[in-house]
Amino acid sequence: MNILADENIPQVKEAFSNFGEVRLSHGRHITGEMLRDTDVLIVRSITDVNRNLLDGSNIKFVGTATIGTDHIDKEYLRSRVIYFADAAGCNSYSVAEYVIRAVAKIFTEEKKSFVGKTFGIVGYGNIGTKVAVFARALGFETVINDPPLERKLGKENFRSLSDALQCDVVTFHVPLNKSGIDKTVHLLNEKNIAEIKSGALLINTSRGPVIKNSVLKKRLLENRNIRTVLDVWENEPVIDTELLGLVDIASAHIAGYSLEGKLNGTLFIYNKFCGFMNCKPEWKPDYPQIEEPEIAPDKIDGLEELIDEITGKVYDISLDTELIKKIIAINPEERGRQFDQLRKTYRIRREFNNYSVKSKDLNNTMANVLTTLRFRLT
């Protein structure tokens, strides 16, 4: 078979080489001409897969190694009887850990306690549910907004978007729906951004257009009285550098870029392709050994400081902010290329469950929080 895959999908060649020739391409450079004699296409979110790309091709299988599918014209694939597979859930722990790392850093900087604060979670799918478990373990009261699930399960455990926006932490984990009753484009906009209260922490790791970037920028320019964490941006890779300069923690759409999250994306698509081919899966991802898997806290002054220190030793989120903010100073024509380069050359980041924490001096609350965050205790 002839297989074309995004060059930034890790170990994709190793996974699929038994099925035929695997060619690699930059995801933004895949063209219809390249697909004329191709049977299988494996992409990420930066490749729009639609009639314009596939018309005239013999593609039989399309896979995206991502949780989002807004870049895929699924109706067109159905009309062509092209099998489609996504990797929903592959990097959910990676994104949830990014959120908790950001919260711990900001709350420690501001000397705020987790306990007694509210945590608004907009979107309660693979990621939102994990964020909720982590947040509750830290001591937050969670406020969940998810209209599709509310219609399915009833109102008992769900609150309005307005309720979620008025929390101490507001985090978005919704798909990008461009129309319909559950439209999420500009879910946060000029009509409701004032509901984000002074002192709140706003986080977006879902899709850039979920927050109307121009409205958020206006709010920050007029009164920078909220903290902001943006991993996703409108118009990627050519993002608003003025907004970038105003954000407290920023990154280049890499919240889900733990090594486990990325390799799970490859594995999920590989397993679904094996199902499509009616053959037994044999390939498994290759994970490098971690050099220093044990963490000994330097000091144990309180829960917030402990979680900040331990998660910071696993994941230096400040480095991601430092790297993306360098885009501000470069030639505007080069900014989009540099945004993509940050994603392509992203360092290896491992998930919390790969690390153990020396627990001799921890109290029961601290130990329970760490185990809920999937750290091992020694």
What confidence category does residue 260 fall into, taking pLDDT thresholds of 50, 70 and 90? very high
In the chain, the number of structural domains is 2
Provide mean pLDDT across the span 244-273.
Answer: 98
| Residue 72 per-residue DSSP state | B
- Same domain for 171 and 214, yes or no, is yes
Helices 364-372 and 303-314: crossing angle in degrees, nearest 10, is 40
222 located within any domain: yes
Element (H, E) at 371: helix 364-372
Residue 210: which pLDDT band, with cuts at 50, 70 and 90? very high
Measured at the CA of 123, the angle between CA 122 and CA 124, to 5 degrees, comes to 120
Whole-number Å distance between alpha carbons of 153 and 150: 5
Question: Rounded distance, CA 42 to CA 266, Å?
Answer: 9
Does residue 264 share a domain with residue 169?
A: no
Beta strands 294-295; 83-85: pairing state: unpaired
User: Over the stretch 276-325, which tens digit does the pLDDT of each residue have?
Assistant: 999 999 999 999 999 999 999 987 889 999 999 999 999 999 999 999 99
Q: Tens of pLDDT along 165-194? A: 999 999 999 999 999 999 999 999 999 999
Tokens of 343: 């994603």
Given pLDDT bands bounded at 50, 70 and 90, which one contains residue 5?
Answer: very high
The residue from 244, 277, 310 where one domain ends is: 277
243, 277, 311 - which closes a domain: 277
98 located within any domain: no
Is residue 118 helix, strand or coil? strand
Cα angle: 325, vertex 330, 333; to 5 degrees: 115
Same-domain pairing of 112 and 249: yes
Q: What residues are labeled active site?
A: 207, 236, 253
Q: pLDDT-derived band of residue 359, with 50, 70 and 90 as boundaries? A: confident
- 144 inside domain: yes
Q: Are 265 and 238 in the same domain? A: no
* Domain match, 113 and 245 both: yes
Residues 6+ apart with CB under 8 A from 25: 4, 5, 6, 7, 34
Q: What per-residue confidence (pLDDT) applies to 30?
A: 97
- The H or E element containing residue 320 is helix 317-325
Report the distance separating Cα 170 and Cα 211, nearest Å. 12
Helix (H) or strand (E) holding 21: strand 21-25
Same-domain pairing of 66 and 111: no
User: Which domain CATH number covers 62?
Assistant: 3.40.50.720
Q: Is residue 128 domain-shared with residue 248, that is, in the same domain?
A: yes
Share of the chain above pLDDT 90, in %: 97
Assess whether 14 and 121 both reside in one domain: no
Taking alpha carbons only, the member of 42, 133, 96, 151 closest to residue 315 is 96
φ/ψ of 203, rounded to 5, equals -130, 135
**DSSP for 248-294, written as a single string:** SEE-SS-TT-SHHHHHHHHHHHHHHHHHHHT---------PPPS--E
- The domain in which residue 196 lies consists of 106-253
Q: Is residue 342 part of a domain?
A: no
Q: Distance between terminal CA atoms of the chain?
A: 49
Pairing relationship of beta strands 201-204 and 227-230 according to DSSP bridges = parallel
Q: Is residue 112 part of a domain?
A: yes
Average pLDDT, the chain: 97
